[in-house]
């Protein structure tokens, strides 16, 4: 059963430190999303890639967040410097999205980030 793999599962860091979260999408999927989940805001879209090209990162704080796909098997989300308000669960999701709308997104188990 193919899965989206995220690492690390948990991360605790101090304010000001750099944080890198990694995601391995399902092989063959052409679309990768990053979402952030908090109690207050729910699931927020941060960034969206199609065929490794960034299509939309309007939901991401540009001054400290960056998202990349160095190759088709790896997506990264980096926060530098991290702040306590970044504490959340970060989800990566992948899908095989084309012209149709039927295909769902497959989610990883998330990275729970705590910034102290």
Q: Is the peptide bond before 81 cis (omega within 30 degrees of 0)?
A: yes
86 in Cβ contact with 115 (< 8 Å): yes
Shortest CB 42 distance to other proteins, Å: 4
Q: Which is nearer to other proteins, 31 or 82 (CB)?
A: 31
d(Cα 43, Cα 35) in Å, to the nearest integer?
Answer: 6
Shortest CB 71 distance to other proteins, Å: 22
Which residues lie near other proteins (CB under 8 A)? 31, 33, 35, 42-43, 45, 48, 55-56, 89, 91, 93, 97, 101-102, 104-107, 109-110, 112
Shortest CB 38 distance to other proteins, Å: 11
Q: Which is nearer to other proteins, 11 or 81 (CB)?
A: 11
The structure tokens listed for 103 are: 């295909």
* CB proximity list for 94: less than 8 A, separation 6 or greater: 4, 23, 25, 26, 29, 31, 32, 33, 105, 106
Q: Which is nearer to other proteins, 22 or 112 (CB)?
A: 112
């Amino acid at each position: 059963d193919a899965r989206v793999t995220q690492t690390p599962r948990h991360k605790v860091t101090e304010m000001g430190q750099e944080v890198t979260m990694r995601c391995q999408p399902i092989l063959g999927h052409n679309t990768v999303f990053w979402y952030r989940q908090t109690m207050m805001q729910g699931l927020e879209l941060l960034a969206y890639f199609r065929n490794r090209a960034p299509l939309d990162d309007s939901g991401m704080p540009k001054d400290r967040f960056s998202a990349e796909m160095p190759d088709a098997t790896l997506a990264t989300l980096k926060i530098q410097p991290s702040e306590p308000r970044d504490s959340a669960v970060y989800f990566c999701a992948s899908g095989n999205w084309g012209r149709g709308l039927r295909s769902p997104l497959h989610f990883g188990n998330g990275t729970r980030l705590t910034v102290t």
